[in-house]
Amino acid sequence: MDIDKLFKVPKLPSTKRKLPDKPSLEMLKKMKMDTESQPVPSSSTSSPASSNGKGKRAVTMEEVPDEEDVDMEDDNDSRDFAPGGDADYFVEEDDEGRFFGGGLTSEQKEILNIFDNAGAGGDDPDALNITSIRRMLLRFERAVNKNQDQRSKYPDDPTKFIDSEADLDSAIKALLPLAQAPVLAYPELVKSGTVALLIGLLSHENADIVIDVVEVIHELTDEDVGNEAEEEEDEERTAEEALKILIEGLLENSILELLVDNLKRLNEEEESDRQGVFHVLGIFENILGFNPDLSTQLVAKTNIMPWLLTRIQSKTHDENRGYAAELLSILLQNNRPNRLELGKKDGVETFLKVLSQYRRRDPVDADETEFMENVFDSLCSALSENSVKALFLAAEGPDLMVLIMKEKLQARSRAIKTLDYAMSGSSGTASCEAFVEALGLKTLFSAFMGKISKKQKSGGAPPASEDTSHILGILSSLFSNIPSESPARIRLLAKFVEGNYEKVDKLLEIRDNATSRLKVADAEIEAEKKELVAEGEEITSEEEDTWYLKRLESGLYTLQTVDYLLAWVAMEDDGIRAHLLQMLDRKSMSMLDIIQTLRTFYDNVDEELDPPPPTAGDTVDERAPSQKEILAALIAALDPSTAPDA
């Protein structure tokens, strides 16, 4: 049985003009012209005038349509007969006359045109011109004045000013698009006095209004403002210059003080207030990113430091706690006044209290890990000051760092870095002695040798290169600061003797790696020198300094530190010296290689970093020896014939 025959629709008599399977282009155009030239009858009855010469009525395709076509056609537009009702099926055609439509009816195309026209003025930054900006600012000013007027007239009846407050809320949020056209908008914001009005609203009774203002200022001060619109080179101002004008206007209206005051006002248990705090901290970051020098003013003129120290002590971790730690790190970086102020506000004690929680546990996620690292970095920045080192020692900071190192968790690497900062320089002598008393040598050399506990052997790995660098720095500080013949120094030297001089062998292994990296850098530098000579250019002192810095980064710094330590242990212990000479001989080297490294170290020591010369009331014994003096003594002890003139 043929199923197709059962469901086949019987053919009905039709008066439609029949077309061949593949009509030609000329036939289609002729049909279109015939259709447009013949009128459409208004009724089903034909008149004599509609008959042709043979007495037959001329039938068009529109007169006798199929029932399916009737359902698809628009009764008001008899020409919408294209496939799918495409309004532009016969309008849009290519050069060869082929039809192609968008598949949209007239009604659908009209709807899309309405949406396109409505969105053209809202999303395009070019639509913001000086006239529209001034009109926007005027509406904002009127909303502010109206709300202030009604609040002053009816202070005890919120129903009287609730509508004006809603209008003010909308007017504030309407300023957000100004960030898309900073070159035009920001000078006008300052010139019109809108900035002063915005800052004034930070004292508004309604906290929601304050949060709206903070959000707008955060958006306007973002470092990426206007990047999409700043493509034309003939603009009078750049976005950076416009942002400078805006920030100066904000500072003139005491924005820093008002924002800090609002931090205490906002309740972070509420979601909107929590977002407000986040945006306040974001404004500080934006302003400091644009002008880092303002960090001193922010700390000196406001109470931001105590607030940040209190905020990072929160027991539960959230986004704002992490942001507070990040802002602290920014404020303390390369800023001596802020570091000293941190010491006055018990910041060192606060840092140690926060970091103590990571002694026995790791951060739960990446955000908390970043928070922990920011607190460690802030502490390391502060330890550049001698007074902060004294506070660190008084708060038993070395003991805590040793305890953190023993647990071998994520915080261990940061603890090693912190000890390196705390023990460096002559001012770190007391911390060096406290470190040895806290039994830190055993933990330090365990990390130095890459030893791990049995439970960590499956996933354990040797110490990272950064850890090794800081461990070498700690050892260098210990040899430089611990007095000779003291019990602490004897314990330090004993560590290099035990285990059949395994620590000395480890130093030589690190030395070989550093030497290999340095050889590659030296080859590149020599190639650059030959290229300059071939071009006839003179090698300047600036280029020499650049090459020396490149060598330091490529292994010279590590090589100098290792040879500094080897010189100390060889000078103070004959057994270590004999073992060292034997190991060097196996590598076809001698003590002269170490002396040559120290000589290069000596020639490039920065005199400004050395301790100041003794005053009239000091003696040479009371003053700590400089780095240059220590190097000269080491070279003389290893080989008197090569000793430099100190």
Over residues 352-362, the pLDDT tens digits come to: 999 999 999 99
Residue 414 lies in a domain: no
Cα separations (Å) of 540 from 537, 543, 544?
9, 5, 7
pLDDT score at 101: 56
Domain count, the chain: 2
pLDDT for 70 beyond 80 = no
Q: How far apart are CA 444 and CA 506, in angstroms?
A: 14
Candidates 579, 578, 594; CA nearest to 635 is: 594
Residue 425 lies in a domain: no
pLDDT for 122 beyond 50 = no
**475 or 69, which is more confident:** 475
Residue type, 590: S
pLDDT score at 622: 54
pLDDT score at 469: 93
Q: How far apart are CA 225 and CA 242, in angstroms?
A: 10
3-class SS string, 391-450? HHHHCCHHHHHHHHHHHCCCHHHHHHHHHHHHHCCHHHHHHHHHHHHCCHHHHHHHHHHC
626 in Cβ contact with 610 (< 8 Å): yes
pLDDT score at 305: 96
Q: How far apart are CA 307 and CA 320, in angstroms?
A: 12
482 in Cβ contact with 440 (< 8 Å): no
Residue 56 lies in a domain: no
pLDDT score at 626: 83
363 in Cβ contact with 411 (< 8 Å): no
To 10 degrees, what angle do helices 397-407 and 411-423 make? 150
Listed ranges 109-118, 347-356, 451-460; the one with the highest mean pLDDT: 347-356
Residue 346 lies in a domain: no
Q: How far apart are CA 574 and CA 17, in angstroms?
A: 117
pLDDT score at 239: 83
pLDDT for 335 beyond 70 = yes
Q: How far apart are CA 646 and CA 630, in angstroms?
A: 10
Name the pLDDT band for 272 (thresholds 50, 70, 90).
Answer: very high
pLDDT score at 31: 57
Digit-coded pLDDT (tens) for 207-221? 999 999 999 999 999
Task: For the chain, report the end-to-end CA distance as a whole number of angstroms.
Answer: 115
Listed ranges 82-91, 108-117, 285-294; the one with the highest mean pLDDT: 285-294
Q: How far apart are CA 439 and CA 435, in angstroms?
A: 7
pLDDT score at 248: 93
Candidates 292, 290, 264; CA nearest to 277 is: 264
Digit-coded pLDDT (tens) for 175-208? 999 998 899 999 999 999 999 999 999 998 889 9
Q: Mean pLDDT, the chain, as a whole number? A: 80
Q: Name the percent of the chain lying above pLDDT 90.
A: 54
Candidates 362, 360, 471, 467; CA nearest to 413 is: 467
Q: How far apart are CA 629 and CA 611, in angstroms?
A: 11
Residue 274 lies in a domain: yes
pLDDT score at 539: 82
* Residue 262 in tokens: 């609002």
Candidates 248, 148, 150; CA nearest to 191 is: 248
Owning domain of residue 208: 127-291
Residue 203 lies in a domain: yes
Name the pLDDT band for 113 (thresholds 50, 70, 90).
Answer: low
Candidates 266, 145, 264, 161; CA nearest to 215 is: 266
Q: How far apart are CA 266 and CA 251, in angstroms?
A: 22
Q: Which domain-ending residue is among 247, 263, 291?
A: 291
Digit-coded pLDDT (tens) for 565-607? 999 999 999 999 999 999 999 999 999 999 999 998 988 887 5
Candidates 143, 138, 219; CA nearest to 181 is: 219
Threshold 0.85, pTM exceeds: no
Q: Which domain-ending residue is among 273, 291, 309?
A: 291
Digit-coded pLDDT (tens) for 24-35? 656 655 655 555
Buried b / exposed e across 338-355, counting CB within 10 Å, b at 16+? bbebbbeeebbbbbbebb
Name the pLDDT band for 347 (thresholds 50, 70, 90).
Answer: very high
Name the pLDDT band for 435 (thresholds 50, 70, 90).
Answer: very high
Name the pLDDT band for 116 (thresholds 50, 70, 90).
Answer: low
Name the pLDDT band for 276 (thresholds 50, 70, 90).
Answer: very high
Digit-coded pLDDT (tens) for 15-62? 444 555 555 656 655 655 555 555 544 444 444 444 444 444 444 444
- CATH code of the domain containing 167: 1.25.10
Digit-coded pLDDT (tens) for 625-643? 888 889 988 998 887 665 5
Q: Which domain-ending residue is among 257, 291, 325?
A: 291
Name the pLDDT band for 226 (thresholds 50, 70, 90).
Answer: low
Residue 212 lies in a domain: yes
Residue 340 lies in a domain: no
